[in-house]
Structures are given as structure tokens and as C-alpha cells.
Amino acid sequence: MRRAHARRTATTIREVSDIVVTTDERPEGRQRSAEEERLLAQRRRDTRNKWLWRIAGYVVVLLIWEYGFQAIMELIAGRSLNDALLPGPIRILQTIPDIWEDGEMLSNFGATLTRIGIGFGVSFIAGALIGLFTQNKWLDSFFRDLVVVSLTSPGLVWALTGLIIWGFKPLGWIFAIFMTTFALVSVNISEGVRALPKDLLDMAKAFGVSSIDRQRHIVIPHLAPYIFTAVRFGFSIAWKVTVLTEVFSSNKGIGFQMRVTSQVFQLDEFFTWVLSFFVFALFLEKVVLQRAEDRYFRWRQEVAT
């Protein structure tokens, strides 16, 4: 939001001749009106309050977790809960340095990420191809039900199937990730292809633009938002399924660590793994993907102003 705004301001300065004046920008020689000042102050207050409330949400939940449960247990059962069974946030946080120093954190994350990368990579390419194939009505019929099955069946089914057939071999998790995500990709891509801008393609044809350039400058940019959607949803499912397969059939990775720590009742470490999983997923979604998208769709932001 802030960045988009900064960019807009920059554009405004470059094209001085335009009448566009954003509220944050004070043209030379003009004071902001009292009403503008009031609106700006209110906007700032709103932003600040939103963040305060959001943080308050975290603090309250963590406080209840740390102290509230114990208090309730004591009230009801007359004794405190075993610390190992429900570790509080503080104790969980204390385990992080240990796990980090062991090198466990990085190596397990690495293992899980590699799996997701390979599994979803394969799935994305195959899914995209199938999406393109479904433009052909025969192939559309061919793939239709397969796609529906993949979209509707729970990841657990494929994780177990992969385990039964391939055991600990990579094909097991590749299979599970593939079965749960390729359809998402193909459905999105085929939707995009169905909505191809015929008017632009006709224009390019009339001007004798080569087929390669038509793909590059019309088809791909048109498909980009569909591809982003596919990656975003596909990735979030690939995450879950990968961790799931690791729980069953692996000796490394976040899922594996979750299984081990829960089996030996090390719930503090267990929650650390869960927590790091959240943090990383959030990082990918909000920072990496969002950044890439903002960059790629710069033209939309410029236009939106």
C-alpha cells in the first residue's frame, strides 16, 4: 500500500503537466486545506489503530495460552497442568535457539522445501500442459473427470497411497503433491486460455506480428494472473500435503520432526515446528509472492490511480 503510493507520487512529479494531484502531495505554493489536514490525520489514526488492535489480538491469545489455561486447570481440577503437555509460548520460544544451533531447523526446512519445489514443479508443468490441452475438446473430455477427482479428494488419500506403493521413495511424495495440485493449475490455466483476448490477437494478426511475439506479448501477460492464482493456491496445498507425507513416510523434514516430537511428548519442540511452518508460509505468501505480483502487475497499479 505504502509502496504503491510512493510510486504514484513519483509518477505525478514526472508528469508535472497533468492535473493529477494526490492528497499526500503538496503542490508548490499551495497549503493543504483544513479539511485535507483533518482527513489526513484521520487516515493516519485509522492505520495506527488497526495495527494496535491486530497486535492486541496476538497479545491476548498468547497471554491466555501462557497463563489462562493454567489458571482454569487449577480452578477446575485443583492442580496445575503438566508443563510438558501444554507448554506455554515462552517455553516454546526458548527451544528455538537449541533447534537452530543444532542445524536442525535449516536442514529440515531444506528437506521440506526441496520436496515442495520438486513436487510442485513437476505438478505445475504437467498441470499447465493439461490446462493448455483442454482447449482441444477431445482432450477436455479426456481430462475432465480426472481433474475433478484431483480437486475434490483429500490430500491424505494420496499421501497414504503414495506411502503404500512407493514407501519412503521420492515418487511417493511427488505422487501425492502431484495428485492434489495439478488440477488447480490446469483449471486456472484453461480458464485463462478460454478468456484469451481475441480482439488483441486479431489485431496482432492483422499487423502480421509473428506467432512467437503474439505468445510473448499477449498470451503470457494475459495468462499471468491465472498463473499467479494457480501458484498461490497450488503452493498452499503442496505445503500441507508435503508435511503430511513427511509425517508418514520420511526421516527428514518438518513433518517428520512433528511426528518425532509428538511421539516423545516434546510438545514445546512440536509447537516450534508448527510455528516455524506458519511463519514461513506467511513469509512466502505475503513477501515473496506478493512482491513478484506487484512487480509484474505494475501496469495495473499505475492505471488504478
Partner 1 sequence: MAEIKVKNLHKEFGVGDDRVVALENVNLDIEGHVFVSIVGPSGCGKSTLLNILSGIETASSGTVDITQDSHDANPGYVFQAARLLPWRSVMENLMFVQKERDDEARARCQRYLDMVQLGDKGDKFPGELSGGMQQRVGIARAFSIEPDVLFMDEPFSHLDAITARSLRRELHEMWKQTKKTVLFVTHDVGEAVELSNRILVFAKGGKLEDDITVDLPFPRDPSDDAVAVAKAQVLRKFEELDLLAT
Looking up cell 517455553 gives 91
Among residues 130, 160, 129, which one has the least CA distance to residue 147? 130
Q: Which of 1, 10, 13, 17 binds partner 1 (CB under 8 A)?
A: 17
Q: Is 33 in the site for partner 1 (CB under 8 A)?
A: no
Q: Closest distance between partner 1 and the C-beta of residue 192, in Å? A: 14
Single residue of 73, 86, 160, 200 touching partner 1 by CB under 8 A = 200
Please tell me the distance from the alpha carbon of residue 190 to that of residue 194, in angstroms, as a whole number: 6
- Find the shortest distance in angstroms from Cβ 7 to partner 1: 13
In Å, the largest CA–CA distance within the chain is: 84
Is residue 29 a contact point for partner 1 (CB under 8 A)?
no
Nearer to partner 1, 218 or 237 (CB): 218
Question: Do the Cβ atoms of 220 and 277 come closer than 8 Å?
Answer: no
Per residue, the 3-state secondary structure of 261-281, as one string, reads HHHCCCHHHHHHHHHHHHHHH
Pick the binder of partner 1 from 205, 283, 286, 287 (CB under 8 A): 205
Based on the shown chain and the rule CB under 8 A, indicate whether residue 102 belongs to the binding site for partner 1.
no
Q: Quick check: 25 binds partner 1 (CB under 8 A)?
A: no
Residue 299 as a binder of partner 1 (CB under 8 A): the answer is yes
By CB under 8 A, name the one of 6, 55, 157, 203 that touches partner 1: 203
In contact, 158 and 179? CB cutoff 8 Å: yes
* Positive or negative torsion for Cα 162, 166, 169, 174: negative
Residue 215 makes contact with partner 1 by CB under 8 A = no
CB-nearer residue toward partner 1: 200 or 284: 200
Which of 62, 132, 218, 237: binder of partner 1 (CB under 8 A)?
218
Cβ neighbours, 10 Å, residue 161: 15
How far is Cα 151 from Cα 183, in angstroms, rounded to an integer? 6
User: Contact positions toward partner 1, by CB under 8 A?
Assistant: 15, 17, 199-200, 202-209, 213, 217-218, 221, 299-300, 302-303, 305
